[in-house]
């Protein structure tokens, strides 16, 4: 049975979701995807299959072209209302392949930046301006990723793997309900990538955060997700529990 949890309102509920960037070609051709609270879902598929597009649509960064979509109970449409986008953004943490830290700022300030978008968010520019409660939360988040001792170092003095851990702390500092990660370990060497994914999956589980991530590393997809969704040419090829995914499934996913 797919690892689709049965109870409660889904965190993400997409039905027949379509997306075209140019009105000529559909990149997503009718995607049904329902994700329940607490699931850890890996999205896999070859280059150009539509993974990043789907992630962006699900959190309102791109308007959809057809079908229906609700994320955390907020309906999203072709023209997303800024208030809806903001509301979803506040409850979501993002992590991308490139961590996008502000290189010249301290590690602690970069984590405090996770509070941008909340009321009084000009105070999130720097840890010096941040309210004590935010600084405390940021230090706790750094402790979670085992970098509390580097809090006052400049971000660009850390290694790539350490910087990705800072990005995780920044994404989790507001305790979001949902974390979306687009190839979070892709720029890391195998060991750092594994460490980052271990930490990431454990923190989401500990804090009851729903996790949706993309990866081209099938070991990561099968190990750190309890459900795997494969996209092929803008459609879902399969959607099943990770322990049910076979080598043939993976072959079908990446074959032309
Ligand atoms: N902003 C955009 N404007 C126009 N077309 C886009 C845009 N973003 C993506 N596309 C197109 O949509 C298709 C799907 O791209 P997408 O980035 O979603 O794929 P992906 O599965 O994330 O690929 P990868 O594994 O390489 O990251 C591609 O054909 C791409 O050229
Ligand atoms: Mg992508």
- Quick one: pLDDT band at residue 3, thresholds 50, 70, 90? very low
Ligand 1: residues whose CB is within 6 Å? 21, 27, 45, 47-53
| CA angle (31 as vertex; 253, 92 as ends), nearest 5 | 100
Question: For position 5, what pLDDT does the model report?
Answer: 42
What distance in angstroms lies between residue 235's CA and the mean position of ligand 1's atoms?
14
Q: What is the whole-number distance in angstroms between the Cα of residue 50 and the centre of ligand 2?
A: 7
From atom 31 of ligand 1, which residue's Cα is the shortest distance away? 48
pLDDT in tens, 99-154: 689 999 999 999 999 887 777 777 777 777 778 888 999 999 999 999 999 999 99
Alpha helices in 91-213 (DSSP H): 107-112, 132-144, 160-172, 190-206
- Long-range CB pairs of 82-87 (<8 Å, 24+ gap) are 84/60, 85/60, 85/61, 86/117
Specify which residues 181 forms β-bridges with. Answer: 95, 213
Minimal-distance CA residue to ligand 1 atom 6: 21
Domains and CATH numbers, the chain: 10-102+176-254 (3.40.50.300)
Per-residue model confidence as pLDDT tens digits over 153-206 = 999 999 988 999 999 999 999 889 999 999 999 888 899 889 889 988 998 999
Report pLDDT digits (tens) over 61-109. Answer: 899 999 999 999 999 987 877 888 888 988 999 888 776 899 999 999 9
Q: Give pTM, 2 decimals.
A: 0.91
Q: Which residue has the higher pLDDT, 2 or 179?
A: 179
The whole-number average pLDDT for the span 37-52 is 96
């Amino acid at each position: 049975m797919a690892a689709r949890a049965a109870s409660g309102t889904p965190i993400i509920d997409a039905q027949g979701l379509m997306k075209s960037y140019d009105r000529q070609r559909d990149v997503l051709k009718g995607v049904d995807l329902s994700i329940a609270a607490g699931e850890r879902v890996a999205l896999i598929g070859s280059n150009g299959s539509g993974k990043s597009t789907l992630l962006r649509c699900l959190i309102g960064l791109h308007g959809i072209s057809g079908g229906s979509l609700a994320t955390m109970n907020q309906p999203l449409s072709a023209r997303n209302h800024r208030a809806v986008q903001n509301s979803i953004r506040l409850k979501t943490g993002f992590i991308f392949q490139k961590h996008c830290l502000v290189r010249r700022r301290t590690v602690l300030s970069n984590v405090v930046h996770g509070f941008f978008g909340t009321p009084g968010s000009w105070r999130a520019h720097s840890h010096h301006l941040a309210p004590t409660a935010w600084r405390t939360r940021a230090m706790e988040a750094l402790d979670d990723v085992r970098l509390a001792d580097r809090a006052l170092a400049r971000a660009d003095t850390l290694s790539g793997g350490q910087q990705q851990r800072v990005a995780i702390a920044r994404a989790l500092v507001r305790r979001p309900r949902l974390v979306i990660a687009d190839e979070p370990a892709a720029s890391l060497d195998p060991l750092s990538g594994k460490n980052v994914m271990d930490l990431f999956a454990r923190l989401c589980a500990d804090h009851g955060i729903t996790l949706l991530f993309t990866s081209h590393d099938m070991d990561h997809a099968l190990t750190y997700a309890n459900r795997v969704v494969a996209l092929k040419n803008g459609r879902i090829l399969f959607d099943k529990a990770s322990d049910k995914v076979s080598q043939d499934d993976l072959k079908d996913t990446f074959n032309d």
